[in-house]
Chains A and B, each alone.
Chain A
Amino acid sequence: SQTIHQWPATLVQPVGSPLSLECTVEGTSNPNLYWYRQAAGRGLQLLFYSVGIGQISSEVPQNLSASRPQDRQFILSSKKLLLSDSGFYLCAWGGQGNQPQHFGDGTRLSIL
């Protein structure tokens, strides 16, 4: 069966520090992959999605970037975090051909 792993679960970082969040999927090949951010009490904001290795689409302008170095690996990065980057970051896979997206457990990022 397919599983999705996301880490770390919680992260506290100072303003201006770099960021790297990792997401891996097992049990499926060539999945669509997504990064979402959710501010406290708010909806899901799509940040990036990828349909294949090295293929990244950005939905909103920001100081974050994403990379997909391997088929089942999706990385969210920043060179310099801002206070506004705080939130709950969710990785997801799927969403192809009338199939649902499945979410990882999320990373709660706090910027101090």
Chain B
Amino acid sequence: EVQLVQSGAEVKKPGESLKISCKGSGYSFTSHWIGWVRQMPGKGLEWMGSIYPGDSDPRYTPYSPSFEGQVTISADKSISTAYLQWNSLKASDTAIYYCARCASGGSCYFDYWGQGTQVTISS
């Protein structure tokens, strides 16, 4: 069974750093792109960026222009885990963050999703 299990909810202060995780199981982790999606309170879905764990060279990690330079996506294929990190959090980073797996083949839509990680930034 394909599963993406995300790390638990976080409460942080502005200016702090954070790294959340997404562990894949039940499939070949290195053969599928993983994407990160933000959902701010009461708002829609926003794609942040994606990574290919089989070749997680940062030069080939595409980001949405809205998130380029604001977050870093990485992966550790040895433990089948993808990460999303911030160096300096802002109140506006308060949201639910989902990881999702791209289906195989030429079409990259999200066929499996993690359960979401609630991130709350408050002073």
Decide whether A and B assemble into one complex. no
